[in-house]
Amino acid sequence: MEWRALVRIAAVYAATATAGLAIMMPVSYGWFSSEPQKVDLMVRSVPLAMESGAITAVIAAAAVVSIGSARAAWYTAALALTGILINHLGLSWIQIESLTTLNFVDALWAGVVLGCLAPLVWTPSLAGGAYLFGCVSSAVFGDLAQPPPDAGGPRSIERLFGGAPPVWLILVALMLLVTHLVARDRREAIPGDGPDFSLAPIVSGVVAVFVLARTSRWLAESGDRWSVVVTAVALVLLAAFLAALILPGRDGTLLLLLVGFSAAASAVVTVPRPGWADALVDVTVAGGLLVARLWPRPYLAVAGSMVLAAVAALLAVTGVSTVYWAVLGVAAIGLIGGGSVGSALPRRATSAVVGLAVLFVPSAGIALRGRPFGRVGYSPHWYRLAQVPHEPVPAYTALVITAGCAAGIYLLRRWRPVEVRVAERVAIEPRI
């Protein structure tokens, strides 16, 4: 493998991981030291920023496929990474103090990165695997994040290394991407049959993301009533199945798998845990992706999410909360998350981005976890806290959602025949 191929793979992974963290986590741990009302406003706006980033990714992917220019897609991704870097380093110098604004800027630029890169690498390749690994690992890591051990004011070193994503990662991703832009083959093309404009992925993404986000907000505000919970779950399942039907062929299978997985993962108790357990995210996500790509089993993946939700419910009922179960929960979430993505990859990059976007939208489980304090989040400070009591209702809800998604996958695969693969135009580097 030549050095240009290695740079391409590293650039795709670093850029994707950076963008995923930018959507999933507030702009910097330093916001703990800000004025309480600013922190409260930002925490309340984080779900909306995540929703905006997810929708932006879907639109960006559709635009890249429609335009059909690989060069434009690479340069747009580099521009978006530059925007994230400026957001972390430059806006504070011009006295933009709104934490909400900083977080929204991060999420929007990150959505552009995720959407632009997917069509460029959507082939059975190492670069495609790096994209998936970066997406899933960053989404899972961001979802599992605990608050920083020191909630005081950030020092200079913390400003440099404590951001989400950290500045050093943004710089590495940008340098790798620029290096690839200089060294890449100018004949590179977007994999596929040429430019293709379709509104289907955009409509599907809007339906899924909008309903998931709005029902989550509704559950956080009024989830103490069973009628609200039942209605919200029904709306989530209806929207997920409708969004899956809008996508061509069986492409919606990934969307249904990740709707169920997101709900189940948010119901699992993963705190308190030792710091070394975070490394399990990368290991288990990579293992799940690899195994699922070699032996794709969508029904086994959704069954894993159901087991995850069932065990979470059992632990909540019994009141068991130990470091052992927290570490095991982290490993299980990573393994099942990677397996869910690898088990049902769509043929089209735009459909894949719609499914992956669900990972970056707060699920019903997160909303129900935040019901005691009336906002979408694991705690008043957004992150998972060991001190917050864990009720079985989020796990029960996740179990119903995963079961409904399993039924949706069965119906979709029964109604939609397997697509016959036709000869496709091969990109310049089909195995890179």
Residue-wise pLDDT tens digits, 69-98 = 889 999 999 999 999 998 888 655 555 556
| CB within 8 Å of 292: residues ≥ 6 apart | 301, 338, 339, 340, 341, 342, 343
Q: Is residue 430 part of a domain?
A: no
* CA atoms lying within 13 Å on the CB side of residue 91: 20
Q: Is residue 89 part of a domain?
A: yes
Task: Find the farthest-apart pair of alpha carbons in the chain and give their distance in angstroms, rounded.
Answer: 60
pLDDT tens digits for 214-273? Answer: 999 999 988 889 999 999 999 999 999 999 999 999 999 999 999 999 999 999 988 888
| CB within 8 Å of 414: residues ≥ 6 apart | none
Q: How far is CA 356 from the centre of its chain?
A: 6
pLDDT tens digits for 413-426? Answer: 999 887 655 444 33
Q: Is residue 431 part of a domain?
A: no
Give the total number of structural domains in the chain.
Answer: 1
pLDDT tens digits for 266-316? Answer: 999 888 888 788 889 999 999 999 999 999 999 999 999 999 999 999 998
pLDDT of the residue at 348: 92
Q: Which domain holds residue 15?
A: 3-415
- For residue 229, give the CATH number of its domain: 1.20.1250
Q: Is residue 372 part of a domain?
A: yes
Bridge partners, 28 (sequence order): 163
Q: Is residue 424 part of a domain?
A: no
Q: Is residue 420 part of a domain?
A: no
Give dist(CA 86, CA 54) in Å, integer: 21
Q: Is residue 422 part of a domain?
A: no
Q: Is residue 421 part of a domain?
A: no
